Amino acid sequence: MAAGRPTWAEVSLRSLRRNFRGVQEHVGKDVAVCAVIKANAYGHGTVRCAQALEQEGAEWLGVTGAEEGVVLRDAGVRARVLLMTGCWQGEEDEVVERGLTPVIWDLEHLERLEQAAGKRGKTVAVHIKIDTGMGRLGVSERCFTALLERVRAARHVTLEGLCSHLASSEALDSAEALEQARRFREAVAVARRAGFEPKLLHLANTAAVAARRDCWWNMVRPGLALFGYCLPLTGEKERAGPRLQVEPVLSWKTRVLALRDLPAGRRVGYGGTFLTQAQSRLAILPVGYADGLDRRLSDQGRVIVRGAYAPIVAQISMDLTFADVTRVPGVEVGDEVVLIGRSGALAIDAAEHARLARTITYDILCSLAARVSRRYLE
């Protein structure tokens, strides 16, 4: 048994590489894949995942902002790094110096980058984000032409790409998604009529990669798919075309810390929300909501121990969780327990946690705490 608190995540870099290859094969060699690894690679670990993806041939990596991009450069990652929420005021010097590629949508962004690049005698490539209807980030249709004209006048900023983001790409019959796709096509046409020919055009996230070929253009931005999950698709087109095949990259495990044999009628845990109905054996696990185990899984979720499912009972606390192992023979202190992952024919994935906690798979993965050590498997 390894020293230290026995709660850890195993990250299969082999599965990550396989998922990347699967996405690339799905969209074809003429479509670039920007591997999105923001938010600590959705809880999987930014640097190790970036290195594995770069080794597998990823030429683009997508992160939130400059801070994440600098971490990659410091680790020796040389792939192009797209800053999907641009660069915050004061970061432009670092962006230019480190060769990062910001998304912009405002004249002020352009002016700061122009000044920073000019001081260094360099040129910075940018991607302009279009607000096609999500209403979050992006230049409006009304202001797009003015931004293009300012790019034309810039001496140290070049337009490399145009992009946008779909709000509901998993709903295949969504009128809103179709309208967003139409608006993006129009923005591309506006740029071309203005004399620009952006090298890269990208709109598709994981769900659109899986099922919206008309949104691929010549770059796609899968995130969740790289880590083994696709959102459930809805709508008439759900069964059309080849399926994107991916496999979960992360497993989450702990060990039995203690065992308690309790009689019928005993209340257990905070608030005494669980009442034993018969003589029961409960395993105490050294994992809790401070590790990212969603508290809403209390009396809802399950774990795998000794080749059997065991329900999570009582309230999940900050550092500890109860599992009812009454029906699992032979459980001992130190036994491995699977929170997310596979054991023989049994499996629990992050999507199951999300369904039971009434949240989304992204939330489950991104909530995995830093104190949960990551072990990388080649």
- What CATH code is carried by the domain that includes residue 114? 3.20.20.10
- In a domain, residue 7? The reply is no
User: Which residue is catalytic, options 29, 38, 42, 237?
Assistant: 38
- Does residue 321 fall inside a structural domain? yes
192 lies in the same domain as 338: no
What pTM did the predictor assign? 0.94
Please indicate, yes or no, whether residues 210 and 286 belong to a single structural domain of this protein: no
| C-alpha radius of gyration, the chain, whole number | 24
**What domain range includes position 340?**
250-377
47-51, long-range: CB within 8 Å, 24+ apart, which pairs? 47/71, 47/72, 47/75, 47/77, 48/11, 48/13, 48/374, 48/376, 49/11, 49/13, 49/16, 50/75, 50/77, 50/79, 51/75, 51/76, 51/77
The CB-side HSE value for 165 (13 A sphere, CA atoms) comes to 17
Q: How far apart are the first and last CA of the chain?
A: 21
Q: Which of 213, 206, 171 is nearest to 42 (CA)?
A: 206
pLDDT at 233 over 90: no
- Residue 109, token pair as written in the block: 């962004």
For residues 65 and 172, membership in a common domain is answered with: yes
Q: Are residues 224 and 344 in the same domain?
A: no
**Residue 86 shares a structural domain with residue 195:** yes
59 and 206 share one domain:
yes
- Least reliable range by pLDDT among 74-88, 157-171, 267-281: 157-171
Question: Of 170, 204, 233, which marks where a domain is finished?
Answer: 233
The verdict on residue 338 lying in a domain is yes
> Which residue in this structure is represented by tokens 């203005």?
194
Say if 268 falls within a structural domain: yes
**Shared domain check, 266 and 203:** no
Which of the following is catalytic: 119, 122, 237, 270? 270
66, burial (CB in 10 Å: exposed 0-12, middle 13-18, buried 19+): buried
Same domain, 217 and 341: no
Our answer to whether residue 270 is catalytic in this structure is yes
Residues 297-339: pLDDT tens digits? 999 999 999 999 999 999 999 999 999 999 999 999 999 999 9
Tell me: do 66 and 200 sit in the same domain: yes
What are the strands, taking DSSP E only, across 130-188?
157-163
Residue whose pair of structure tokens reads 């096509």 in the numeric block: 185
What's CA 348's distance to the chain center, in Å?
A: 18
pLDDT category of residue 3 using cuts at 50, 70 and 90? low
Active site residue 42: no
Examine the pLDDT at 226 and tell me if it is beyond 50. Answer: yes
- In angstroms, the CA 52 to CA 373 distance is 18
- Mean of the per-residue pLDDT values for the chain? 95
Number of domains in the chain: 2
pLDDT of residue 1: 45
Alpha-carbon gap, residue 348 to 301, rounded angstroms: 10
Are 69 and 97 members of one domain?
yes
